Structure 1
């Protein structure tokens, strides 16, 4: 089984059992150890993975970290574990910080079994940075995340390669954070920079500043929407081609809707959260139907997930316009929508059975 397939299997198992995992010990056994095993390290060989490795740090005796991965008898990666779902506060990683300082390990991992934060010593040798250079979420990962995680696998581990990557990831992440800040709240300096050629010799008055601040924010939103649209169409095009070999209900029932381009309405913005939710729903229903039959159709107030791109066969609705109150719309047999609150996008998995039941209700009609 491929590396990414093993991760998907683990993610599925965790999504269905996470409510049962209430302690740190259970988290280590059910979540962390399986991930270490996927990385190619034998968790049952103490010469390769040592649990609760001990070191004396200054006046503190018997300092422990939960796991140390060894190579040639020396630790190369340290793991500090918290119980599933616990906040990963850097202030709670004191043992990891101290142990990192007295060993040859160059990487420390702080995890709650769901999120893994990777640290190293880019800023000061032998002192673990306070900010992670890489974060991996077992329930919400992308292909590029898998490629970065794979570098820590036993078969691929190369210290120099990872340190080079870590340096790049650190600054890439910082730039992404700054660009995100500017996207939502452009600073006056940034607005001046992007509008310099447009303003020309005119004085940058408060009125011009306010005008171009608003324009800059809209330009960012439209740019992001267009990029998302391009990726969606690129991802779905091969599947749409394969579907064309079979009767598509939407072509007879809703011909106009299928010919409209995505995001034709400038007020419709397909967000990253909606795309994540769509992929979760698609993963859930793959147990019932091929993923290529699941489509997204965005609207101003919600993002619809449809069977065969047919708005008479809604699977669910992602009501994510208010990120502080994520809601999932699920349909009963009479196609009446029930709106359910989500604590996070991952909570969609909690309603997997109902989502699959909705899809299954449409299938007898095809017989």
Structure 2
């Protein structure tokens, strides 16, 4: 079972059982321990890996416990504080995480209610836990672009430097998206003035600003609608090309029946998808496995290749397609090395936009 399938299985369990879970302890047993064990890959029954009810006396605070401490390389790497399923998460729930964060070696802390997992580190000040998470993962609202980021925190891939390097971008992109979403619903005065001052030559009186508040909301709504329509037009224009490929695919069907897509290839696909979805609609990203390589395409179109994964050999390669449709092979040691070529992958995708 691959990483995504394990996530989906736990999500389905939460959907089925969350209404009958009414305590924090039941939440930990039913949802949090399976997350630690099956998703993050740490043995919850091995105290050298997962220490429940972790005690770390601080000054006059004696006997306080954190729900779980995750240990790797004989060092505490992750602290986890749990709340009951359905309970909203806020910074007030993380008081013990704040206290323990600066007296242990942990650089990652997690606040969860079994469904939503908020991941914190110390981007704002060294050795002091941030007040805002760099990653928030909701098992009942899975965002595919976050799956590669969650995978970095698993036991097999855990690399604190890699996690911290990615955390800054994750944190601020997430916060910017939330701000943008709020402005589209209820534009603030500064947001309205920004646009009004660029299209209106008169004085921005209170009446004018009130008028532009309505116009700004209408304009942003229409802009998003136009973007959707453009993508629909693109999809329609590609229909003819896909029809031409149908015959080609059917001719390949017999030989493809012998192809087995490996878990590593699937994980590689999700890594590439997570990278390039920042520049293209993720619904346009597709995969096609062959006997000699695993291909990643745009619009499921052979004429729009992004890269090829050559993983079924002793020396693995990431083959990136350049603007002239030539494949440039880059040797990699593991699929995590794909992140090193993020910009090249995005450049390739940009040629199809």
Alignment of 1:199-238 (within 5 A): 199-200=200-201, 202-227=202-227
Residue 52 (structure 2) aligns with: 51
What is the CA distance between 1:4 and its match in structure 2? 0.9
Unaligned runs of 5+ in 1: 246-367
Hey, what's the Cα distance between the residues in 1 that align with 2:9 and 2:230? 29
What is the CA distance between 1:149 and its match in structure 2? 1.2
SS at match of 2:84: coil
The alignment's TM-score, normalised by the length of structure 1, stands at: 0.60
SS at match of 1:60: coil
Residue 160 (structure 2) aligns with: 159
Alignment of 1:347-358 (within 5 A): none
Residue 43 (structure 2) aligns with: 42
The alignment's TM-score, normalised by the length of structure 2, stands at: 0.62
What is the CA distance between 1:170 and its match in structure 2? 2.1
Q: CA RMSD in A?
A: 2.6
How many equivalent residue pairs? 240
Residue 97 (structure 2) aligns with: 96
Hey, what's the Cα distance between the residues in 2 that align with 1:154 and 1:99? 21
Residue 186 (structure 2) aligns with: 185
What is the CA distance between 1:207 and its match in structure 2? 4.2
Unaligned runs of 5+ in 2: 247-353
Residue 82 (structure 1) aligns with: 83
Alignment of 1:185-334 (within 5 A): 185-200=186-201, 202-227=202-227
Deviation per residue, 1:17-62 (Å, 9 max, x gap): 1122222222111101111122221212111111112111111112
What is the CA distance between 1:195 and its match in structure 2? 3.3
Hey, what's the Cα distance between the residues in 1 that align with 2:126 and 2:161? 14
Hey, what's the Cα distance between the residues in 2 that align with 1:13 and 1:234? 38
- Does structure 2 retain, via aligned residues, the 8 Å contact 1:63–1:99? no
What is the CA distance between 1:78 and its match in structure 2? 0.7
Deviation per residue, 1:273-309 (Å, 9 max, x gap): xxxxxxxxxxxxxxxxxxxxxxxxxxxxxxxxxxxxx
Taking a change above 3 Å as real, the CA distance of residues 69 and 234 of structure 1, as seen in their structure-2 partners, is farther
Hey, what's the Cα distance between the residues in 1 that align with 2:58 and 2:228? 49
What is the CA distance between 1:222 and its match in structure 2? 2.0
